[in-house]
Each structure stands twice: as structure tokens, then as C-alpha cells.
Amino acid sequence: MKYVTSTGDESFEIEINGENDLLVNGQRMLIDFRSVVGQSVYSLIVNGKSYEALVQPTEEGLEVLLHGQLFQVSIEDERQRRLRQSTGSTTVRRGEFHLKAPMPGLIVTVHVREGQEVKTGDRMIVLESMKMQNEISSPTDGTVRTLRIKPGDNVDQNQVLLTLG
Amino acid sequence: MKYVTSTGDESFEIEINGENDLLVNGQRMLIDFRSVVGQSVYSLIVNGKSYEALVQPTEEGLEVLLHGQLFQVSIEDERQRRLRQSTGSTTVRRGEFHLKAPMPGLIVTVHVREGQEVKTGDRMIVLESMKMQNEISSPTDGTVRTLRIKPGDNVDQNQVLLTLG
Amino acid sequence: MFDKVLIANRGEIAVRIIRACRELGIETVAVFSDVDRESLHVRYANEAYYLGPAPSRDSYLRGDKIIDIALKSKAGAIHPGYGFLAERGDFAQQVEDAGIVFIGPRPSAITAMGDKAVARATVTAAGVPVVPGTEGEGNLSDEEIMQIAPKIGFPLLVKATAGGGGKGMREVSDIEELPPRLNAARSEAEAAFGDGNVYLEKLLTNARHIEFQILADSQGNVIHLAERECSLQRRHQKLLEESPSPFMNESLREEMGQVACKAASAVDYLNAGTIEFLVNEDGKYYFLEMNTRLQVEHPVTEIVTGLDIVKEQIRIARGRKLHATQEDIQLSGWAIECRINAEDPYNNFLPSTGKITQSILPTGPGVRVDTGVYPGFEISPYYDSLISKLICWGETRGEAILRMRRALEEYRILGVKTNIPFHQNIMDSHRFMAGQYDTRFVEERFSMDQTSGKQKEHAEIASIMATVVAHRESQRSSQIVRKSERDTSNWKWIGRWERINR
Amino acid sequence: MFDKVLIANRGEIAVRIIRACRELGIETVAVFSDVDRESLHVRYANEAYYLGPAPSRDSYLRGDKIIDIALKSKAGAIHPGYGFLAERGDFAQQVEDAGIVFIGPRPSAITAMGDKAVARATVTAAGVPVVPGTEGEGNLSDEEIMQIAPKIGFPLLVKATAGGGGKGMREVSDIEELPPRLNAARSEAEAAFGDGNVYLEKLLTNARHIEFQILADSQGNVIHLAERECSLQRRHQKLLEESPSPFMNESLREEMGQVACKAASAVDYLNAGTIEFLVNEDGKYYFLEMNTRLQVEHPVTEIVTGLDIVKEQIRIARGRKLHATQEDIQLSGWAIECRINAEDPYNNFLPSTGKITQSILPTGPGVRVDTGVYPGFEISPYYDSLISKLICWGETRGEAILRMRRALEEYRILGVKTNIPFHQNIMDSHRFMAGQYDTRFVEERFSMDQTSGKQKEHAEIASIMATVVAHRESQRSSQIVRKSERDTSNWKWIGRWERINR
């Protein structure tokens, strides 16, 4: 199976030919790769080098925490790639995005109103939790479609606060 | 449910009336009891005192490791007790006992032969494992019925070494 | 003399105090809220009593209940830890009135130092320099503040008189900004402390936050255990502390230490306390406030002085004389503490709650961990986000940094996000290594996206690992689900994988 | 000068060495057998290479493969740790011949001290007292031994010339016992070391096992880091060590330290090593042997001297001068180490294998843990049973004991049996507390069934906990199995519960 994997400005063609046999940008690599704590901690030995990282799924793809650096990694396989190229779209259509409460708490401030356009990083909501005022910013550009909370509300973890379209 | 529980020379009548409500030798105790590491570690709060112990099943009953002291505990409920009293037997009939290898290793010496009578604590087998010579003693009085190994054998963990009758 | 202590706290500091008691042969009494029944402090204490629901005001702030439990359990003393009731003079007074020893300063000293304005007036009277501001003038009206502000000069800080932890605090860079910020500070202070009074303080730029640890016994002996460097902060929250300070020299240490002792003596201080200073680039220092309790960061001082501060607190509370004189205090090597918080350094340091599924601690030479959590423990939203304190010692600052680097790399906490990567980046920062940082460093001159020589190699490794994980998971899930086709949306596919792996 | 080190070992000591390298900015190369792919030393190293199957002779004893890997990975030095190849002069020579630095003594010194008889002859020639025995006479026949034995006097020990770890060792209390014991010792030594040669040594009763840590650099400087008390043994296996020794005084320390340095100088010693002595009640001491490597128990010395012995080893191997003189070595406080083994103290210390399902380490002030395991790690039968070393420091011996007590109580390891309860009982033993113990203490005057005042209270608590566990499990299993009747056999019922809970 062939993949095109990218993180930041870097992009790699990775072909997986069996459990431990890779071609990375055309170069063969034999790997010893396994989960070591039975969860999301993985150990990789390749060409004698030993690496350990936390690999976890996110809504965007996968994130890899390696030696104190966080990499947001997106992966496409051949089929997805062909599909994308044939339809000519350069970004995956996203549809609606539901902003959820990252933890339970009290809504202190709501900086946006329905219909308002927001950019990535714009302050949207202040949630008080763990003795702190926590600012929740927009993860994406878009328009506030539905606002489901108001100041003074107590919210549960993962409760949808608002929907971006 | 009523139990008679004994460890060493001590014996207790313990009546369980609901999750947290006990009568111990006639005295009422309200307990807060739970597993705390999701395994065999239990935390007990009773009359404000906080105790933590490892509680594990053994072939004889249960063992409790509390503050560096190991208690072998045997528990009988009412029904078992009536049964034992009506049949007049004072010890539970045991039948055959299979002595198993506590770990994988190499049989170095076998001190007993089939048909030999042994007492609790008699040396039976020397098993080499983890760079050590480990003596395995008889856990009970009895007669060696079947001897399944000889010096030089490699054995797996829990492999039956001999049977006492 | 007491031989049983109630610890009116939770988390790592409750565990820390229980350990000190145990090592002195003193019995311990824990108290706990609904969500803390399985906390380490409850498990490690000899006795444990239920306090109330999770919110602090219903549990750890219920001084009345805590005193009742102390009486019932015959605890002869109460240790308040830090936070919660630790700096409440009225609570300390109620404890004493109940005939129980309060392990801390006298109620009068707590009250004097607790009101920031009174504290500034008191130490000024004792000849200790304070940051220019509206010291000791208390309860100023908005009009008065508008008049005084230009005399102090901008930038300045509006601070809550009853404040702490950055609440009710606002920076003001010119007179125009003052009215709205003043308003915001007052309402935040009113909400947080039930007291909307504020004062003004000059904002020192390029300043360091350096504090001195004080010990004072009931025989009138006051000594200091040298300084802690606490400038590494984010939004006025300390993240990393060290002792000694890379900024300090011997003569300044001696001078500031004496001033700190003088400040403590000014309120007839007893037990452990901390005098906080701001120090500017020229070595001019100003009293900031006194914390009349054990500090979070006390371990760095313990490690370089060899003293166990919590045991000293207990000895002092038992009426003993300090077992070290000022001359006995010699610093040996260097200690650094990283506060490991459940928060996401890649997402605005947003707190993270959830169950800690795994925790593998760094260990070995020169490493100390103070924590109240363990695998299976739930980080709740009710209390602060401190998971643990990782403290490393070295013969030199360089060795301490290198050791901290390897310890951070070893530390594995799964189930919640932590700020470990933040500390790793700090340890790699050349400015930090050179000791060149002040209280604005994290906010103004530090980024999590620093590029290093390893970046490119690591990008490739990260991509390989992610791809193999994704490949194996997709193969596994196609086997399980037996779907002939994979979903075309990457997002959905990951979603499915998440569901499967839950 | 090298900047990459291959660690020819596994377990806690490999992790220990990797940590030292990391803290010096040196790259590390791990090697691993089939069962160690997921070991901490593999996870923490920068590079890792496969050696071979699990048995040591196919992996960690394969010096040839290890040297190949060092060359291939361009490691400039090899650290052997302890055990395995650490005391093999031929291996050290091969390493040097391959142009790689051996982090340890010169091959000649390893060989000289490795043959017990040669070692005794060498140090005797240097004027160091040795335990009476057949020193330096090598390869004695059974007849010669039978003749010499009465001259030495009974009780005595038959010891393997090539021996270590109690193998090929037998105690003999009179001449009758000698022939069979001699036979047993020879065949055990032959099997273990491929060398059936033995020697005789007087068995000192009421003796203490005290050893001195030596450091020697390539410029000819030799210093000692004071003593370690290692008398707490079971079957010649050390279980607990402390530094300093409660038996030692300043003048004896100085004298024995000088003798130890002299013994090391007699073989032109380089790097870290240990001189073991037996000391009788009158303070008379006898050279026992020299360990030409890092000891398991080195951390107690590190903690009281403040030196990092592994870093010193590396500095010495890099040709550096010792960075401390004898006068710089000052002992501060007291350190105790408990070896935490996977063995059952309630069942003849039988080793226990299996997967560690949970490990909650004791932490906090004055506590250090050196370990190579983590939750999920499998303790295999192939290597020794050491899980970790728990080391506690205190200002005084009393504080160290109290701290060790609380640390042992906090330590939770699930999945295998451990000797933690053994150490807890030792810490409660009045003889241990008083420092009154010798090498026979554990076997002759210690029992795990000591009764204490708490025994009765704890019996009740244990009974309550066991009963509630049994009750809840029986209720749960009856709900699951929906049997109308419980099995009448207690044994079967527990069996069923076990199955259900597996």
C-alpha cells in the first residue's frame, strides 16, 4: 500500500510492503515497530536508531509527539489521492464543525454571535474550569451557525458549544 | 450473609447486611470499601481508619498483604459451615494435589521418588531459574503419587511436576 | 505536644505532608471530597474522613467541618498545605480557639500579610523597599486611582487587594486604558474574593521574580534558606523554579536574605513563609508580597539546603528551636523544578481532564517527583491542574538542566494532555540555558514551534510512525468490520478507528 | 575521545548507564535479546541492536557480536555494567584490541583480581590482611585440601576460584563434612564457570561484610568513597546495603580506606572498583575480594558523597583526572538501599515470573528508585530477579530508616510477588534499627512471622477485607453465571472466580 504523508512543509511517499518493510521516498527501510505500553506509545527501531513517540488520532489525521515536538500528520492513500486529483479539489470538504467543551466548566464570556464570521485563532468563548479562565479559540475559518450556550451556563465535557459552517 | 473467617489463631463472625454494613463479632461496622487500582489493591475506611491491602485468591482461600504482613484467610459461609458440622468432618477433604512449576526452568535435583511419604516443608525438587537454585518444598503432608519430571528436564511455568495424594 | 496531624488539603501537597508526618512517626488524618475518595492522600493517611461534594466551597474550604473532624479524630494539629484555607487568618484563629495547633504562622501575621495594602505598609515601615504604588492606602475610589496613576507612571498593574493567582489583575499601559481595566479588575476580584478593592503597582519591565524562604521558630529565631528564581511564568502562573537563581550573587543574597528576615520579623512571623521580590536588571529589589504558608516550589530549596521544610514546619509547631542557624545553611549544587500540569501547550495551555491511564515516572540519580496521582486516577475539573512536580538536582546548573532534559524525555503520562513538551522546549532554549529570562519570557520571547536541527529528521520519523499506525489500524479495522471498501473520508475513517479502539 | 557508548547489559543497570551518558550529552547504543525488545534500556537508548536469543550465552555473553555492533555503530566505548561480561579480562582485551575504549579497569587488573587465589596472593604481597585460607596456592587436589583444612580450622568455606554470587560455595563445619561438600562445590563450579577449581577460606562468625568504593584515574590518582555496609545477606546474596556502616568509626574508615587504595594500586587499578572486607567484632578486617566493576549498590555511595559514580567512570575512561581529591570526599547523611526482587519472601524466596501489571513507585523527598521495568513489562526466567533498587536518604540513619519504611509501604508492584514485605519486616526489626546485624542475621535470627502489637488489629482488618472481597465476588459470579446454587467447595468457587476475573 502506498501513502503520501505530510507534516508541516515536509511530505513523504511511504510504501508499505509487509509488516516491517517500507519504501520511504524510494529508499528501502526495514523497521521494528510496536506499541510498548499497550496504548498509544510506540517504539520504532530503524537502521539501529531507537525512537519512541506518542501517536494519537485527531479529527484532522494523526498527531505524533516525538522528543517534545508535536507533529500534525495527514495521510492519504493511493485511492484517496486519485479521487482528490480527479475531482480537482485541493482540500477535503469539511462541512460543519461542532466546537465541543474540552472539559466541564462554567461559561464566563461568549465573544461571538450567530452569523458572525470568524478566523482561525479568534477568541470565541471563555470557560472557567480548574480554577482558571480558559479561552477557547476557533480552530478554523468559518461562520458561527448555531450558538448553544450563554454566559452562566454549566457545560459538560464534549458538550457542543457552537457550530461553525 | 454470615461468614466465619479465620486467619492464624484468630477467628471472626462477619455478617454482611448490604454493601457497607457489617456485624463483626456482633459489633456493627459501617465500611467504605473499594478496589483502587482496578486490580487486587483494596482500600478500606472503617471508623475513620484508612487501610490498604492486596487481596488475592490462593488455592486455600484468600491471602491479604497488609502493612508488610501476610495473612492467609479462610472463609466459610453459613451453608458450608452447617454442611461441615452435619458431616462431622473438621477439615475439608482435599483429594489430589498437583505441584506445579512456579516458573520456567531447569530441573536440577529431585529429592523424592514415587510412593514416598512427605511432610509439609520437605524438600522435593530443585529448580534452576533466574540464575538461582530454587528449592521447592511440599505444601502439604501426603504421598508422592506420580513423578512427572527428572533432573535435566526443562519445564514451563505451571507445568505439573508431581502429584501428591 | 501533638502526635496526630490533620491535613486540610488534597493532591500532591497533602501527600507531601503525610510523608513528612510518617517519617516523624506522627499519625495522619486526611479529609476528602466526593471525587477524592481514591486519591493518594486518602490511601496513604492513617485516617480519612469525608468532607462534602467536589466543589471546594463545599469541601476543602469548609473550615468548620475540618475543625470538627480534627476534634473528633483527636488530631492535635492542622496543616493547611497551600491554597484553600492556608492563608485565611480567620481559619487559623478558629483552629487555635478550638485548642488545636495551626501548623503555620500566627493568625495576626496571616491577616497582616494577606491584605496586600497592609503588607506593603508594614514592610515599608520596617525599611524594606516596595514596588512603587498605592501602598497602604487601601480602598481607593476610581477617582482617586485615576489621579494617582500618572504619579506612579505607566505601565502599571491594577491588582486585587485580596487577590492571588493572577485573578483581579490587569496591566495598563496608558491612562486611556485605565477605566475599562479598572472596571474589569474590580468585578473579577468581587467575583473571586467577594472584595472588589484594588490597588496600583508600577509594572517593572525586564524584572525577575525572586523569593526568599524564611523559617522562624517560637523562640524568635528567624533564618532564610536563600532564594528561589521564579521568573518563568505564564500569565502570572509559575511554571518552573530553580534554586539558586542564576541572577544572584553572594552579596546580594546576603543583603536580600537579611531584608526578607526583617520583613518577616515585622509581623512577628512564625513557621515557614516566603518573601517575594521583583528584582530589576541593576539588582534593585522591591518587596512584592509575603506568602504565609508552604510554597508549591519548596522542594528546590530542600534539595540545595538538605533541609526538609515540612518537617521543620512540624518541629516549629511543636515548639522546638530551629535545628539550623543561618551559618549552617550552605547551598550545595543546583535544583530545578518543572510543574507538570494537565494542560495542552499546543492549544493555548487549555486544561485537560480525564483518567490517567498510564504514568511512568522518571527515576534514577538526582530526580525527585512529588505527585498525588497514579494510573487510574481521574483528573477532575474541580481543582487545579497540577499533576506533579518534577525536581532535578545537579552539581551545577548545567548538570541539573541536562538531567531535567532526560527526566522529561522519560516521563510518560497517558490519558490527559500535559505541558511536558513545553518544559522540554524550555530546556532546549538557549536563553534559558544562559539564564537570560525574566517574567515576560514565556509570553513574549518563547514559542513552542522552535525549529531545531533535528526537526527534519524527526518529521520523517513522525511521518513513518503515523503512517504505519494508520496502515495497521486500517488493516485491523477492515478485518474486524469486513467492509469491502474503506470510507473515503479520512476523518470518518479515523472516527471509526477511534470507536473501535475505545 | 568517544562520544557514543555501547552498553553491554540490560535491566536497571543499563538504564542507569544510559541516564549518565545522556546527562553528559553522549549518545548511547543498547543491545537486546529476544525477550528484551521492549525493555526500558532499548526504549531509552539512541540506538538499539538485536543480539540473539534470550539465554545469556546466546546474547549478553556474546562478546564477539557486541564488539561487532560497537564497530558497526561507531561506538567509541563499551560499558559492561555488572554481571555478564563485566569481569572478563579476555573480553576487555578484545574490546581494546578492536580499538574501542573499555569503561573499566585494564584487562590485566580484571584477570588478576578475577582469580580469587591470585587476588589474595597479590594483596597479601602488598601487605593487606586476607581471610586465612589457601591463598595463592591455586589448583589444589582433594588430598591437599584435606590436609590443609584442619590447619585453617573449622568452620570454613569451600569457594570456587572462578566463582561469584554464591555459586560453587559450601560451608563445612568439620572434617567429616569436607569430602561431600568439596565434591558438590567442584561440580557446581564446573557447571557454572567451566572451572572446578576451589580454595578454602576460614569462615568468620559474627562478621560484617563491609566494602570500600575505589576510583582510580589514568594519572595514577586513587581515592576511596568510604564504605558500604553489605552484611544483610541471604545465602551470600546481598539484599540491603547502607552507607556509611553503623559499625564504622572515623579512624577505622581512614585505615581501611587506605588499605583499600593500596590493594587497588597493587594491580595498577583504573576506573571504579570495590574492595570487599570481612570485619569481625573487634574491628579486625580481612580482604575478601575485589570487584573490578560497578556494583549493584553504588547508589548509596553516590547519595552520601554527592558524586555520580557512573559519570566518573566515563570521565576516567575519557582520560580525565578525577575531579575530587580524597579531602573533597565528605559524607553527608545516611543512605540505605533495598533490593526489590521478584521473589516470594513467604515461600522460601522463590523467584516469581510474569507480567508486571501495575507499578506505583514511591516518590517524594529523599527517595530514589533505579529500575528497568514498567507496567506491562514481563519478568522472564532468563535473567536475575532484580526489579528495582529503592534508595532512601536521611540526615541520620534513623531518618533514612523511617523514610524507607514509608517508601516501602507506598510501593505497589502487581503481577509478580516481591520481597517488599521482607524489607518492611527488616525495617521494623529492633536489631536492624540498632545496627546489630552480621552476615548470618537473615538466616539465623530473622523470621517473617514476627508478631507485633498491630498483629491482632491487622488480623481483624485482613479478615474483614477478605470476607467482603469473597462476598462481593460470589455475588457477582452468581449474577453472571446465574447458578441457583453455589459450589460447596471453597476451592472450586475460588477457581471459578479466578477464571471469571482472568
What is the reported pLDDT for C116? 80
Is residue D383 assigned to a domain?
yes
Is residue D22 assigned to a domain?
yes
* Per-residue DSSP letter, B20: T
The answer to whether residues C193 and C55 belong to one domain is: no
What is the reported pLDDT for D115? 84
Residue A31 to chain D, least CA–CA distance (Å):
12
The answer to whether residues C275 and C400 belong to one domain is: yes
What is the reported pLDDT for D165? 64
The answer to whether residues C162 and C283 belong to one domain is: no
Mean pLDDT, range B93-119, rounded to an integer: 83
Give the residue from chain B lying closest to D381, CA to CA.
Answer: B130
Rounded Cα gap, residues C409 and A131, in angstroms:
28
What is the reported pLDDT for C164? 67
Inspect the interface and report whether the beta carbons of C49 and B52 lie closer than 8 Å: no
Nearest to D80 by CA among C366, D90, C363: D90
Inspect the interface and report whether the beta carbons of D464 and B14 lie closer than 8 Å: yes
pTM to 2 decimal places: 0.88
The answer to whether residues D376 and D277 belong to one domain is: yes
Query: What is the torsional sign of CA D135, D138, D142, D148?
Result: negative
The answer to whether residues D243 and D265 belong to one domain is: yes
Q: How confident is the model at residue D404 (pLDDT cuts 50, 70, 90)?
A: very high
Inspect the interface and report whether the beta carbons of A50 and D48 lie closer than 8 Å: yes
- If you count DSSP H runs as helices and E runs as strands, how many of each does chain B have, helices first? 1, 16
Rounded Cα gap, residues C136 and C130, in angstroms:
11
Which cell goes with A26? 524510494
Instruction: Look up cell 561484610; give the residue.
Output: D209
Rounded Cα gap, residues A119 and A126, in angstroms:
17
Rounded Cα gap, residues D113 and D104, in angstroms:
13
List the chains bordering chain A where 3 or more Cβ pairs fall under 8 Å: C, D
Nearest to D389 by CA among D275, D492, D300, D292: D300
Query: Of D202, D217, D239, at which residue does a domain stop?
Result: D202
What is the reported pLDDT for D104? 98
CATH number at residue D39: 3.40.50.20
Asked if A126 and A153 count as a contact pair (C-beta separation under 8 A), the reply is no
Non-local CB neighbours of A62 within 8 Å, separated by 6+ positions? A55, A56, A72, A73, A74, A75, C466, C469, C470, C494
Output phi, psi for D278, to 5 deg. Answer: -105, 135
Is residue D108 assigned to a domain?
no
Is residue D498 assigned to a domain?
no
Whether the pLDDT of residue C224 is over 70: the answer is yes
| pLDDT tens sequence across B56-67 | 988 778 999 998
CATH number at residue D171: 3.30.1490.20
Per cent of chain D over pLDDT 70 is: 93
What is the reported pLDDT for D324? 93
Is residue D459 assigned to a domain?
no
Mean pLDDT, range C460-473, rounded to an integer: 94
Sheet holding B123-129: strands in order across?
B132-137, B123-129, B105-110, B154-155
Is residue D124 assigned to a domain?
no
| Cβ-based contacts of D33 with chain A (< 8 Å) | none
CATH number at residue D435: 3.30.470.20
Asked if B92 and B157 count as a contact pair (C-beta separation under 8 A), the reply is no
| Catalytic-role residue among C293, C315, C368, C496 | C293
Whether the pLDDT of residue A50 is over 60: the answer is yes
The answer to whether residues C76 and C183 belong to one domain is: no
For residue C440, CA distances in Å to B15, C422, C461 come to 64, 16, 34
SS3 C496: helix
Rounded Cα gap, residues D136 and D115, in angstroms:
9
| Cβ-based contacts of B57 with chain D (< 8 Å) | 494, 497-498
What DSSP line would sit under D429-466, residue for residue? -HHHHTT---TTHHHHH--TT---TTHHHHHHHHHHHH
Query: Of D103, D118, D148, at which residue does a domain stop?
Result: D103
Asked if D236 and D166 count as a contact pair (C-beta separation under 8 A), the reply is yes
The answer to whether residues C180 and C318 belong to one domain is: no
The answer to whether residues D323 and D436 belong to one domain is: yes
Inspect the interface and report whether the beta carbons of C467 and A60 lie closer than 8 Å: no
> What residues make up the domain containing C12?
4-103
Q: How confident is the model at residue A91 (pLDDT cuts 50, 70, 90)?
A: very low
Nearest to C90 by CA among C103, C78, C106: C106
Asked if D238 and D337 count as a contact pair (C-beta separation under 8 A), the reply is no
- Number of cross-chain residue pairs from A and C with Cβ atoms under 8 Å apart: 165
| Cβ-based contacts of C360 with chain D (< 8 Å) | 374-375
Mean pLDDT, range D243-248, rounded to an integer: 96
The partner residues of D272 in beta bridges, in order of sequence, read D215
What is the reported pLDDT for C489? 39
Asked if C387 and C340 count as a contact pair (C-beta separation under 8 A), the reply is yes
User: Which residue in the set B36, B48, B49 is minimally distant from C38, CB to CB?
Assistant: B36
Say yes or no: ipTM exceeds 0.90.
Answer: no
C293 is catalytic: yes
Nearest to C308 by CA among C407, C403, C215, C400: C215
SS3 C372: coil
Most trustworthy range by pLDDT among A144-148, C104-108, D456-460: C104-108
SS3 C387: strand
Lowest mean pLDDT among B28-37, C14-23, C213-222, D73-82: B28-37
Query: Of C141, C167, C202, at which residue does a domain stop?
Result: C202
C120-146 burial, b if ≥16 CB within 10 A, otherwise e? bbbbbeeebebbebbbbeeebeeeebe
Whether the bond into D246 is cis, omega within 30 of 0: no
Q: How confident is the model at residue C450 (pLDDT cuts 50, 70, 90)?
A: low
The answer to whether residues C230 and C357 belong to one domain is: yes
Chain B contacts to C (CB-CB under 8 A): 32, 34, 36-38, 43, 45, 48-50, 52
Number of domains in chain C: 3
User: Which residue in the set D346, D351, D385 is minimally distant from B70, CB to CB?
Assistant: D346
The answer to whether residues D262 and D360 belong to one domain is: yes
The answer to whether residues C167 and C219 belong to one domain is: no
Inspect the interface and report whether the beta carbons of C464 and A29 lie closer than 8 Å: yes
Per-residue three-class SS string for C235-247: CCEEEEEEECCCC
| Cβ-based contacts of A62 with chain C (< 8 Å) | 466, 469-470, 494
Rounded Cα gap, residues D89 and D293, in angstroms:
11
Is residue D460 assigned to a domain?
no
What DSSP line would sit under D263-304, residue for residue? HHHHTT--EEEEEEEEE-TTS-EEEEEEE-S--TTHHHHHHH
Is residue C460 assigned to a domain?
no
The partner residues of C163 in beta bridges, in order of sequence, read none
Q: What structural domains does chain B harbor?
A: 2-87 (3.30.700.30), 97-164 (2.40.50.100)
For residues D201 and D337, the model is more confident at: D337
| Cβ-based contacts of A40 with chain C (< 8 Å) | 414
User: Which residue in the set D358, D365, D368 is minimally distant from C375, CB to CB?
Assistant: D358
Rounded Cα gap, residues B16 and B24, in angstroms:
9
The answer to whether residues C176 and C79 belong to one domain is: no
| Cβ-based contacts of B52 with chain C (< 8 Å) | 43
Chains B, A in contact: 3+ Cβ pairs under 8 A? Answer: no
Nearest to D60 by CA among D35, D25, D90: D35
